[in-house]
Structure 1
Amino acid sequence: MTIDRGLSAWRSARNHNRMLKWQQECGPVRDGVEIAYFGGSAFRITTPAGITIMIDPWRNLPTGKADWFFHDFPETSVDIGASTHAHFDHDALHRLDASVLLDRLIGTYEFGDLKITGLADKHATDETFAPYQFQKINAYFGGNPVLPPNNARSWDNCMLLVETGGLRILHWGDNRQNPPKQIWERLGHIDIVMLPVDDSEHVLGYPMVEEVIHRIAPRVVIPHHYFIWNLVLRQSTLFSAEKWLARQANVQHLQTAQNRYCPVTLPQEIRVDSFGDHVSFDVDAWHGENGRQVVKGPD
């Protein structure tokens, strides 16, 4: 049977009527741009008009041999889904009930009050600060080549630049810290950058993160790709980002999984906004739906 292979949009009882409405007229309905964190590297961005885009929903490795998460990404409805690269912790677009899917976008997509530009580059492979020698392990088990320029598809990366509400928001994905000069030039001014940061230095080491921040000079840095105790399994080897956060001069520890940004209220100095363990879905219900009973202890 092949019924469970491929895209599953044909199963959805929903439709793209919201997109039809915005196709005719798309004016602002709220102030600012909302960014909501879903754990891993997944963020939902909501434009002033109300258009939603989910970037990098995650899942477990399809082989079932190295789960990173307790369960796959919760099924979520958004208008647009996008993925930066073909790694399991970034590419679960099939878990989205979306009108548009942008898988590893290279080029530009525009709709309503939203513009998304995908910039093709390469996944980070410098293991100077990594917790283990992944290149050696990969080669030992006959994995696909990881080093550019002749790397396998899963070691490509497409940074996603989202422009809406007067803001330029960059999702770095797992990109290398030293893309070529033309990439930096095309990025231009960035207001908010989402960077993979965790204390195991899994993707980017601390000096690499600081190098990227220095080159981009954003107003806000949002870390992602870190350990969350009730979402991510220990065997992922990920750590939290607390030690890195302690090194930063200006940190805002957000108390919810959503935050709203407007050009006029952005900080004058670089600020790190951390969502911490807050995610924008009901984690207890997610465990229950996947057969894991949650026992509440004392507060």
Structure 2
Amino acid sequence: MFSRPSALVSLPLSMSLCLRALTAGLALCSAAVFAQNGKTEVLWLGQAATRITTPTGKVIMIDPWLTSNPKTPAGYKVLEAVGKVDLVLVTHAHFDHFADAPALARMHKAPMYGPAGMNQTVAALGILPVELAPRFGKGGTNMPFGPAGVKITAVHAEHSSELAYKNAATGKDEVHPGGEPVGFIIEMENGFKVWHMGDTGVFGDMRLIGDMYRPDLVLIPIGGHFVMPPADAAMVVRDMIKPKFALPIHYGTTPQLRGTPAEFEAALGKAPGTPRMLVVQPGEKVDF
């Protein structure tokens, strides 16, 4: 196995940030070993696909589009390379967020939490059994690992959610209701909070959500066309949410998603108190 630190920075609240480019071999590292250092690990795999390892070693896979994602490193295009998965989160039913979620849920017998309407459709179509497709609503908080474990709250996202499905009986493509899109506030066992926005445009209650949950890290889409462009995303984190860190996601996978981290950084500016932008490449991880 090989790990090459890209950066190591001293941060407030005794946190440290470490960017490491991964080889395929590192994908199978034990979460239990990682958990000994009591950190939160965020591994970005392209588009919105994100694997979070909590301080106690629980592994949460969010929006897993991996096997056909052009930005996912080759070592992660085989789902077994993700390693163990304890929980799957899906923000909405679009293919580039949902595609590999059912397969991972079945592989690990891990529940796939998502919008209530989406999971009702998933169960009705037989994509997953009911026990692996629990329904989850905006404003609701779940503690899937018990009262001392991670807390996950579904919050609003300004987007759409349609579930594309090929009917095995007819061979025809169908479109089914996918519920309302959500983002997730994920509070770790040690209190560190991540807001994974999924896909969204700007909405006024972003400020309210920021005030209520005080996320330390926001994973924010910047690609434009279907989601916020870089300038809007910069305004959101700088002026509305004000997290410690912002990590741009959901760009560069299709021609329409033209926004870039450089544009996001330029729009964010460098005024005192501005959130720190973290730019990682697919297959790199950040430790907090």
| CA deviation after TM superposition for structure 1 residue 176, in Å | 2.8
The answer to whether residue 228 in structure 2 is matched with residue 204 in structure 1 is yes
Question: d(CA) in 2 for partners of 1:124 and 1:56?
Answer: 15
> Residue 90 of structure 2 is aligned with which of 64, 67, 83?
83
Q: What is the aligned-residue identity percentage?
A: 25
Match of 1:11 in 2: none
With over 3 angstroms needed to count, the CA separation of the structure-2 counterparts of 1:170 and 1:246, relative to structure 1, is: closer
The answer to whether residue 119 in structure 2 is matched with residue 108 in structure 1 is no
The answer to whether residue 126 in structure 2 is matched with residue 119 in structure 1 is no
> Residue 241 of structure 1 is aligned with which of 248, 254, 260?
260
Check conservation: 2:222, 2:264, Cα contact below 8 A.
no
With over 3 angstroms needed to count, the CA separation of the structure-2 counterparts of 1:30 and 1:113, relative to structure 1, is: farther
- Aligned-CA RMSD value: 3.5
Match of 2:25 in 1: none
Check conservation: 2:157, 2:199, Cα contact below 8 A.
no
With over 3 angstroms needed to count, the CA separation of the structure-2 counterparts of 1:238 and 1:122, relative to structure 1, is: closer
Structure with higher Rg: it is 1
Match of 1:194 in 2: 219
Check conservation: 1:74, 1:95, Cα contact below 8 A.
no
Match of 2:279 in 1: 274
The answer to whether residue 186 in structure 2 is matched with residue 178 in structure 1 is no
Q: Extract unaligned runs of 5+ from structure 1.
A: 1-21, 23-27, 61-66, 126-142, 145-151, 251-266, 281-299
With over 3 angstroms needed to count, the CA separation of the structure-2 counterparts of 1:44 and 1:70, relative to structure 1, is: closer
Letter in 2 for 1:276: Q
Question: d(CA) in 2 for partners of 1:176 and 1:124?
Answer: 10
**Which of 107-116 and 160-169 deviates more?**
107-116
> Residue 243 of structure 2 is aligned with which of 193, 196, 218?
218
**Structure 1 length-normalised TM:** 0.57
Match of 2:41 in 1: 34
With over 3 angstroms needed to count, the CA separation of the structure-2 counterparts of 1:156 and 1:122, relative to structure 1, is: farther
Paired residue total: 202
The answer to whether residue 101 in structure 2 is matched with residue 93 in structure 1 is yes
Q: Which is helix-richer, 1 or 2? A: 2
